[in-house]
Structure 1
Amino acid sequence: FEPLTVEDVLDVIDAEQPEAVIVQLGGQTPLNLADALEQAGVKIAGTSPHAIALAEDREKFGEICSSLGLRQPAGGTARSAAEALDVVDQVGLPVVVRPSFVLGGRKMRVVYSVEELGDYAREIYGDADPELVGAPILIDRFLESAVEVDVDAVFDGSELLLGGVMEHVEEAGIHSGDSACVTPPPTLSEEAHKEIVRATRELAAELSVRGLINIQFAVKGDEVFVIEANPRGSRTVPFISKSTGVLLARVATLVMMGATIEELRQEGLVPEETRTPFVAVKNAVLPWDRFPEEDSVLGPEMKATGEVMGIGSDVGTAYAKALLGGGRILPDRGKVFVSFADRDKPTGLAVAQAFYMLGFELVATPGTARYLEHHAIPAEVVPKIGEGPDDVAQRLDNGEIQLVINTPRGGRARTDGRTIRQAARGHQVPCVTTVRGGLAVARSLRAGPGAINRPRSLQEWHQ
């Protein structure tokens, strides 16, 4: 493979003499080259480099959102530990922190305390990775219990083709490449859906998009917050194309070259209404078996190495297929160990209740067990790690636990959680690290073993 540098790309252009160059279908790196290519006299198809830069400029994009009446999480930028503390004083905790200009959520973290923020700043600005020293830290208020939503769309300058709206299974704060997502969105209210469509149309118009745009939203109740907009094809475009039967990459390419969506509709490439005739789930393939020392907890930094798709008539069936496709075989009976961080206990009740109603026996450490018992959900108590001969790690070694649901927390509990998750992985016991992920697993188990029946082709599904 040739490296994606300006010089190498210009050599290819010189040899091929293309009419124009498409930068929207190769991820972030081609977008970074767009301005230099245009300055070298290369015609960029579709969205201009100026518009691309506008979407990536934090302050200017924030001004655009404000002018359109769109909400964004409060945030700021810091170049030192002291500045980071000042920003947190203004926006409040918890926050999502990350260095600017990194890909894949690298070094991104959700911070719940000033102490954690100090540790993070020392990591970035102390003994640090030379690529990150001096890079600004982007700090945004973390919207707890919010649902993340992804949108892929094509805009031709006047009409918006909404490719699809995807609701993430895991809570906001998990990298979109690691979170499973569902289309059509199962819990999104009609009001929130309308606001998302409005925001997508107005942002695409304001950014002068010609071609693809991906926008990430966080939804809390009926309140919709814009996280970011990327005027390019995202990793979810193939998933949405298979879900709807609309070849988004083809449509977007023709739009970049000057066609309108209406013209493509007349040619039969775009339907009158984009719809998904089933429920589709995209799930991440995670490399824990290859990296036994890596903690299997999900967070803002992407760890997935692939993805699979499950299709069904309901969310439970589709998610069950997606889990199986990703190599995760779920138990249909036995014991479930549950351990929730304090902040997750109120929402974790629904997870515990769901597994109890499915006939599983619950096992929990003393604090979680007391909380469950207080809410009339029986649980067997096991000692914390190292506090008894029959702790959860020993239970896993003995094959007594068939599923682990463990949400991460700080301090010693974080170390215990890592030990539990690694013990589960060592014994091929499925481990879930988010509340919404636990609910989705329960939903797939409720669908029953008959949910995974004979394979059907996409052509059959779209008939």
Structure 2
Amino acid sequence: MSSFDTVLVANRGEIAVRVIRSLRELGIRSVAVYSDADADAKHVREADTAVRIGPAEAAKSYLSISAIVEAAQVTGAQAVHPGYGFLAENAAFARACEEAGLVFIGPPVAAIEQMGDKIRAKATVSAAGVPVVPGVSDVDIPEGGFAEAVAGVGYPVLLKPSAGGGGKGMRLVHEESELAAAIESARREARGSFGDDTLLVERFVTTPRHIEIQVLADQHGNVLHLGERECSLQRRHQKIIEEAPSVLLDEATRQKMGAAAAEAARSVGYVGAGTVEFIMSAHDPDEFFFMEMNTRLQVEHPVTEMVTGLDLVAWQVRVAAGDPLTLKQEDVRLEGHAVEARVYAEDPARGFIPTGGTVLAVHEPSGDGVRVDSWMTEGAVIGSNYDPMLAKVIAYGPDRTAALRKLDRALADTALLGLGTNIAFLRGLLADEDVRAGRLDTELVDRRLSSLVSSDVPEGFFVAAALDRLLSLQPKGSVVDPWDVPSGWRVGGGGGVTFRLRAGEVQAVVRVTASTVQVDDHEPVEATATRVGDVLEVRRDSGIERYRRADGPQQTVWLARDGFGFAFADQEVRLAARGEAAGAGPVKSPMPGTVLVVKVAQGDVVAAGTPLLVVEAMKMEHTVTAPIDGVVSELSTRAGQQVALDETLAVVSPNEEQR
């Protein structure tokens, strides 16, 4: 086998860790790059060597072509693996690698350029006989004719940046009254993410299912398709649960789509691993349309690896080194079923806005058929500079039912303490009746969101918090003064120990008397608690609930169960997996990030729901709106300003006539 001695991984997070793992198995020395924010990150620790490339800001580090090329040259790397995101589909980066004598582990520059521009990509594959979604591009629309062109395509339509992917800048528009705001937002996000605000307008396929085909091509003209992945469970046009194979496709359709994907790859002289994405109606699986080709490895590649038994990263390296594919199409077999869930630092109850914080403790699942691709370590700081994905939990089983069951158990055994995550939401989604039955489409999450998220706090968490607090207050030592025992004793009997606790906006008074726990005015229940290591076992009636525990800064104690987290600060409990609802008056930042746009001025009269500012964090825009009808009485925020979670951005006061 041809190979390289040293490969630089031009990325961070779980994909950098995953690529380094395959390089190690191939006997290849790995080089990591890192920003100041990632100096102690997992990918830096696991690489054979690492090079600092700049400050935390991505534009000055992970997106700096010159810094990455220089790092590769200094460390003696012969090749660069771009991972996904950042510069993975950047033709200028691939060209710079070639000019520096480095092998870019990806497709040729021409293929990136043709498929990276959605307008050119559609024209190219259409000429090759691949069906495409009806639509129109900016370049074909005369000035001032955008609304007319969209009407010609027919509502609903999807606005898509021509130069990017990953759901960034995509806007679904149902009617003309929504168009102007959608165009403004889509262009702004497209410029910020890809440096190009050219838009593509496509007809929105009703009840759409997102099916993608993995392709693999070598430098000798061989192109294989490795089966499909179902990626229909999405939020904000971004995938959250993916699986292989899809329950929608029969073998004939699978082969037809695979052949179309391979033809799309051949049409641009593709080399390496890539993904051709199709959309089809759930009601008409015989008709499918090309959407785009991702000229890189996909986030969801592990499910394909698990059902085919192939290491796609290893094959990327071999193909880039000039090796031919040793497989033929008839050798590709899909065995069993695999499902992947993306774990994000986000709050589903608040519109999936990113969260952040310091990871106080990590527990990741393991076992037969369970795989975790993660970059989480204790002490890792999750800020607003990068994408909020923390890990991917993947489960494999002999059939779909077994794989779903195993994934649910694996998520239940996943704990990331110190920040809010979407783990509980993912488990709720996996339990959905339609998801279990395979009745999927890209709008399912939006339809079911209210039933999948809740600001309610389970009573059991308050019980566990109070019992854990009581256990921590017990005196230590061989000689104990009875007066030091927190029993709530008083003349006439024991009054119990009372804790006033808060989780988000939910408050509770918990009274513990011996083994009896009463929450507010509810009936007292028998409850006992024992701690084994860092696990608190709470027995209530006949059930046992488990909560992991970790000590962090300022004696903070965290508890977690099925993705929920608590933090103690004195006698206040904060529920990390939930957010607080916005109210009238002060308008606060929903997440730590950067103010992109300020849409109002101090003194402006606004109505409830009027956009005030746009805040961006972790590649996501969030429009902050007026909570009430009134006047912007305070506004000290400016575009470009860094803001913290819950920092006051403006104050909207009622009009005098409303007082």
Q: Deviations over 1:63-100 (max 9, x none)?
A: 21121111111222349994431331221111111344
Contact 1:76 1:138 in 2 (8 A): yes
1:293 has 2:350 as partner: yes
SS in 2 for 1:143: coil
Residue 137 of structure 1 and its aligned partner are, at CA, apart by 2.6
1:16 has 2:63 as partner: no
Listed as ranges, the matches of 1:84-163 within 5 Å are 84-102=146-164, 104-123=166-185, 131=192, 135-156=197-218, 157-163=220-226
SS in 2 for 1:310: strand
- Cα gap change, 1:303 to 1:425, in 2 (>3 Å): farther
Partner residue of 1:276 out of 334, 352, 368: 334
Residue 129 of structure 1 and its aligned partner are, at CA, apart by 9.7
* Aligned counterparts of 1:202 and 1:107: Cα–Cα separation in 2: 28
Q: Deviations over 1:418-459 (max 9, x none)?
A: 8x4697243469xxxxxxxxxxxxxxxxxxxxxxxxxxxxxx
RMSD: 3.9
SS in 2 for 1:426: coil
* Aligned counterparts of 2:88 and 2:170: Cα–Cα separation in 1: 23
Residue in structure 2 matched with residue 313 of structure 1 by the alignment: 398
1:195 has 2:262 as partner: no
Contact 1:149 1:219 in 2 (8 A): yes
Q: Deviations over 1:340-369 (max 9, x none)?
A: xxxxxxxxxx959x8xxxxxxxxxxxxxxx
Listed as ranges, the matches of 1:190-339 within 5 Å are 190-220=251-281, 221=284, 222-262=286-326, 265=327, 273-289=331-347, 292-294=349-351, 305-326=390-411, 327-328=423-424
Contact 2:227 2:258 in 1 (8 A): no
- Cα gap change, 1:281 to 1:351, in 2 (>3 Å): closer
One-letter amino acid of the counterpart of residue 38, structure 1: E
* Unaligned ranges ≥5, structure 1: 297-301, 337-349, 355-404, 410-416, 430-463
One-letter amino acid of the counterpart of residue 168, structure 1: C
Contact 1:23 1:34 in 2 (8 A): no
* Aligned counterparts of 1:210 and 1:255: Cα–Cα separation in 2: 8
Residue in structure 2 matched with residue 183 of structure 1 by the alignment: 244
One-letter amino acid of the counterpart of residue 275, structure 1: R
- Cα gap change, 1:224 to 1:125, in 2 (>3 Å): closer
- Cα gap change, 1:14 to 1:122, in 2 (>3 Å): closer
- Cα gap change, 1:273 to 1:85, in 2 (>3 Å): same
Contact 1:84 1:137 in 2 (8 A): no
Structure having the higher helix fraction is 1
Report percent identity of matched pairs: 20
One-letter amino acid of the counterpart of residue 248, structure 1: L
1:51 has 2:111 as partner: yes
* Aligned counterparts of 1:59 and 1:91: Cα–Cα separation in 2: 15
Q: Deviations over 1:192-251 (max 9, x none)?
A: 212211112112222212211111111232012111112221112233223322112112
One-letter amino acid of the counterpart of residue 84, structure 1: F
One-letter amino acid of the counterpart of residue 59, structure 1: I
Structure number with the bigger relative contact order (C-alpha 8 A, sep ≥ 6) is: 1
Deviates more, 1:36-45 or 1:306-315: 36-45
Count residues with an aligned counterpart. Answer: 340
Contact 2:122 2:292 in 1 (8 A): no
Structure having the higher strand fraction is 2
Residue 45 of structure 1 and its aligned partner are, at CA, apart by 4.9
Residue in structure 2 matched with residue 383 of structure 1 by the alignment: none
Residue 253 of structure 1 and its aligned partner are, at CA, apart by 1.2
Contact 1:278 1:314 in 2 (8 A): yes
Residue 406 of structure 1 and its aligned partner are, at CA, apart by 8.3
Residue 256 of structure 1 and its aligned partner are, at CA, apart by 1.4
Q: Deviations over 1:26-77 (max 9, x none)?
A: 4451431112333455444552112211111233222211211111112223
* Aligned counterparts of 1:303 and 1:15: Cα–Cα separation in 2: 31
* Aligned counterparts of 1:191 and 1:331: Cα–Cα separation in 2: 30
SS in 1 for 2:119: helix
- Cα gap change, 1:89 to 1:146, in 2 (>3 Å): same
One-letter amino acid of the counterpart of residue 278, structure 1: G
- Cα gap change, 1:28 to 1:209, in 2 (>3 Å): farther
Contact 1:51 1:207 in 2 (8 A): yes
